[in-house]
Structure 1
Amino acid sequence: MDIMSILGLLMAVILVLFGIMFDTNTMKVVLGNLNAFISYPSLAITVGGTIGVMMLSFPASSFRKIGKHLKIVFRPKKFDPGESIRQIVELATEARMKGLLSLEDKLMDIDDPFLYNSLMLVVDSVDLEKVRGVMETELEQFDERHALDRSFYEKAASYAPAFGMIGTLVGLVLMLGNMNDVNSLAAGMATALITTFYGSLMANVICLPIASKLKVRHDEEFLCKQLIMEGVLAIQEGENPKFIEEKLYKLLPAGQKLKLDQSRQMPEDEEPVKGRKAKKQKKEK
């Protein structure tokens, strides 16, 4: 469960509601203030209009992926570059000691389809450049597929404020057409203002954050796939496992390198403390 995504969404919604309901004169929360922000015509124009043009812009398959995308945002699969490097180094060591064909016995223990398919090509003695071409093509398709998924929410984020403006124009027309009717004037003004509010809220609290978080998840997975590609190609070339480890390590962003260093290295004072304890015990004996 991604706590940051859940807390971020709750914070955004709660603070907006707080701003609506909090009365600075009485310093109290007034629930009745919410009534001024509920307008069914505005919801119909903004939300309904956005969904309508999204149906016009994207196929049904894009809508079926919404549940999957929400799961990626709130309950993501973990992609650990350090684990990818460790796995590649183990495979490189096995291939160095027993040959590339020995990797066939390791295939059943591999869950990652990208790594599995790549190693199958290596075990089948496919030419190095062909293996590189296949892996690069798969990475390109992977990148394009995820970019298309993100564009679904980015388009929705651009359509929602636009329909908010359409609602504003509708409200102004209604208001100006009934200047003598006070009730119609108030209703038209409410529709004019609230549609803009709904459009901005839909774009900035729902659509853009989802697109942004999908990009973060994509970058995490893409990095691991890049490490796998470079590692598999290095294994096929017969490079030293230590050299492969350093090569893959240098591909990591600075933040990932720092995390990996902290997990690999022992605290500086841990060893000396153990040494002092051992010496003290020896003297007591």
Structure 2
Amino acid sequence: MEKTTIIGYVGVFMAIMFGISFGGGGFDFTKLLNFVNGASIFITIGGTFFVLLASFPLKTFKNIPKHFKMIIGKDKKDPYEYVEILTELSKEARRKGLLSLEDKTKDFKDDFLKESIFLIVDAIEPDKLRVWFDQKLSYIEKRNEEERKLYDMGSAIGPALGMIGTLIGLVNMLKSMSLTGGAGNLGQDMSVALITTFYGSILANCFFTPISNKLEIIQEREILFKEIIIEGVICIKEGENPKHIREKLLNFLDEKEIPKLTGQKVKTAKAKTKVRIKAKAKTEHSLEN
């Protein structure tokens, strides 16, 4: 489970509850009732949902459970695992030929990796493979962007519906005012009018925007894995040296992650260089064996 997501949502909820309840030297939880208004909730939350429903097809909403699972679940994929797999496949292809790789795909859980291996087994030129992979990545990135549009639009609509609710409340408040009736209910009516703006801000900044940002990070990492696979399988298709393929694939990764190869902690630039040299030596030794 991704702890930062849970901690973030619980933290912001507690911060808002604390801000509402604390005041005058202590806590007064009855103040929470000041922020509960059925009409305001329906205008802001209900209105935002219906606008999104009018803006997107139904299949877009079917992806919401998958998105929540993505942002709450912990990513168990290891980029080094892909580097190791592709390096081993390159050695296998050198020893037994590309056709031998087809049997290796049975144990792979990554569908994109399987599909990519099947493509290089076929007699397709590397240039054509690159064009196909570029189109595939372009489609995936476009699809990911389309999925995030739901949350980006929600973060924009929430405050807008909150403002509409505020205007509705102000109009009703002004309409009910009279010279004979006085302004006894002015404060209460004004607070009700402002609650919708509060709900809209909460909806945008504490719900839609974090989900969109988290999805973007997860999807960009998924694209990174696919780029590693693409570069690896094309190098295998071109018959490059396994050692060279491994070094090329390591360039996709963050330098801070390199110590995972040796299990050491790196604190200085000099230490990082030593670890990289050690990791490279370890790689060359494993390939020679």
Query: Shorter-chain TM-score: which interval?
Result: 0.7 to 0.9
**TM-fit CA distance, 1:133:** 2.0
User: Which residue type is aligned with residue 100 of structure 1?
Assistant: L
Is 2:266 the counterpart of 1:265? no
TM-score, normalization by structure 2: 0.87
User: Which residue type is aligned with residue 164 of structure 1?
Assistant: G
**TM-fit CA distance, 1:266:** 5.5
Q: Within 5 Å, which residues of 2 pair with 1:43-122?
A: 43-122=41-120
Asked if the contact 1:161/1:200 (under 8 Å) is kept, the reply is yes
Q: What is the alpha-carbon distance in structure 2 between the residues aligned to residue 73 and residue 83 of structure 1?
A: 22
Is 2:2 the counterpart of 1:2? yes
Q: What is the alpha-carbon distance in structure 1 between the residues aligned to residue 4 and residue 127 of structure 2?
A: 42
Alignment size in residue pairs? 262
User: 2:17 — aligned with what?
Assistant: 17
**In 2 relative to 1, CA 266–198 (structure 1 residues): closer, same or farther, beyond 3 Å?**
closer
User: 1:272 — aligned with what?
Assistant: none
CA deviation digits over 1:43-66, x for unaligned, max 9? 111111101110111011111111
**TM-fit CA distance, 1:262:** 1.2
**TM-fit CA distance, 1:100:** 1.1
**TM-fit CA distance, 1:107:** 1.4
Structure 1: state its 5+ residue gaps: 269-285
Q: What is the alpha-carbon distance in structure 1 between the residues aligned to residue 52 and residue 61 of structure 2?
A: 9
**TM-fit CA distance, 1:76:** 4.0
Q: Which moves more between the two structures, 14-23 or 186-195? A: 186-195
Q: What is the alpha-carbon distance in structure 2 between the residues aligned to residue 45 and residue 4 of structure 1?
A: 31
Q: What is the alpha-carbon distance in structure 1 between the residues aligned to residue 263 and residue 30 of structure 2?
A: 59
- Secondary structure of 1:79's counterpart equals coil
User: Which residue type is aligned with residue 125 of structure 1?
Assistant: A
User: Which residue type is aligned with residue 265 of structure 1?
Assistant: T
Q: What is the alpha-carbon distance in structure 1 between the residues aligned to residue 195 and residue 77 of structure 2?
A: 42
User: Which residue type is aligned with residue 264 of structure 1?
Assistant: L
Q: What is the alpha-carbon distance in structure 2 between the residues aligned to residue 151 and residue 266 of structure 1?
A: 40
**TM-fit CA distance, 1:130:** 2.2
**Which of residues 119, 122, 130 in structure 1 aligns to 2:128?**
130
User: 1:39 — aligned with what?
Assistant: 37
**TM-fit CA distance, 1:265:** 2.6
Q: What is the alpha-carbon distance in structure 1 between the residues aligned to residue 185 and residue 61 of structure 2?
A: 37
User: Which residue type is aligned with residue 223 of structure 1?
Assistant: L
**In 2 relative to 1, CA 53–266 (structure 1 residues): closer, same or farther, beyond 3 Å?**
closer
What percent identity do the matched residue pairs reach? Answer: 40
**Which of residues 155, 158, 162 in structure 2 aligns to 1:157?**
155
User: 1:197 — aligned with what?
Assistant: 198
User: 1:224 — aligned with what?
Assistant: 225
- Aligned CA-pair RMSD: 1.6
**In 2 relative to 1, CA 132–66 (structure 1 residues): closer, same or farther, beyond 3 Å?**
same
Q: What is the alpha-carbon distance in structure 2 between the residues aligned to residue 173 and residue 57 of structure 1?
A: 28
CA deviation digits over 1:198-241, x for unaligned, max 9? 00000010000000000011011110000000000000000011
- Secondary structure of 2:255's counterpart equals helix
User: 1:233 — aligned with what?
Assistant: 234
**TM-fit CA distance, 1:129:** 2.0
- Secondary structure of 2:218's counterpart equals helix
Is 2:165 the counterpart of 1:167? yes
**Which of residues 142, 145, 148 in structure 2 aligns to 1:144?**
142
**TM-fit CA distance, 1:191:** 2.6
- Secondary structure of 1:154's counterpart equals helix
**TM-fit CA distance, 1:257:** 2.3
CA deviation digits over 1:255-276, x for unaligned, max 9? x3211x21113659xxxxxxxx
Q: Which moves more between the two structures, 31-40 or 132-141? A: 132-141
User: Which residue type is aligned with residue 61 of structure 1?
Assistant: K
Q: What is the alpha-carbon distance in structure 2 between the residues aligned to residue 235 and residue 77 of structure 1?
A: 27
**In 2 relative to 1, CA 93–64 (structure 1 residues): closer, same or farther, beyond 3 Å?**
same
Q: What is the alpha-carbon distance in structure 1 between the residues aligned to residue 264 and residue 41 of structure 2?
A: 57
- Secondary structure of 1:125's counterpart equals coil
Structure 2: state its 5+ residue gaps: 266-289
